[in-house]
Chain A
Amino acid sequence: EAAVTQSPRNKVAVTGGKVTLSCNQTNNHNNMYWYRQDTGHGLRLIHYSYGAGSTEKGDIPDGYKASRPSQENFSLILELATPSQTSVYFCASGGLGQDTQYFGPGTRLLVL
């Protein structure tokens, strides 16, 4: 059974609209991460969290917010979506003090 799930799997949004991407993990991991994947850039870290109630900025946080309301859930929020945010977004989890990360299946976002 999949331990990291993401919803929705596909999303079409309009420029200026609000988009929320959700991630749930059943690994009981403290750490969770949001990445975007673009050709030529690989996986780039947007936001991450070391536990419920905490969020940290990653390498490319501009235009994104994150929310970690519980151990299991981590959301990525685009308050004002732009076409440049069209991408595939991956969520991952990792155990406290552990460096291996476990990824979800991804969300494909198209901003028109």
Chain B
Amino acid sequence: GDSVTQTEGPVTLSEGTSLTVNCSYETKQYPTLFWYVQYPGEGPQLLFKVPKANEKGSNRGFEATYNKEATSFHLQKASVQESDSAVYYCALAIYGGSGNKLIFGTGTLLSVKP
């Protein structure tokens, strides 16, 4: 069936270091992939989406390339800041019937220390 697996958390980094959050997916459909971010006390919000294989999505210094052969969509940032502390979710869109659904990974809690 359709599924998403991502890096188990939590992850603690110092400011200025690099981040990688691993995400892999499984589906028989042609996938559209997303990264969502959830700041403390808020609902998840879209970070970016990538609808096509081998294309890169990016926002706020975060980026991810959708690798169809490896079925992976890892989130990366070269230099994290304290304000990046949040939970990051990888998600896969499933289409069918009258609309669509999103399947989310388990989330990765990132804490960035000054």
Contacts and interface: CB of A to CB of B under 8 A. Distances in A.
B95 to A, nearest CB: 8
A54 B100 CA distance: 14
Interface of A: 4, 30-31, 33, 35, 40-45, 48, 50-51, 54, 56, 58, 90, 92, 94, 96-106
Contacts of A105: 41-43
B43 A106 contact: yes
B60 interface: no
Nearest to A103: B43
9 tightest A-B CB contacts, nearest first:
A103-B43, A42-B106, A99-B93, A50-B98, A43-B104, A42-B107, A50-B99, A42-B104, A103-B44
Contacts of A41: 106
Interface residues of B, number: 23
Contact of B99 (A58, A96, A100): A96
Given A90-B44, A100-B34, A42 B102 contact: no
A30 B88 CA distance: 26
B106 A40 contact: yes
A101 B95 CA distance: 13
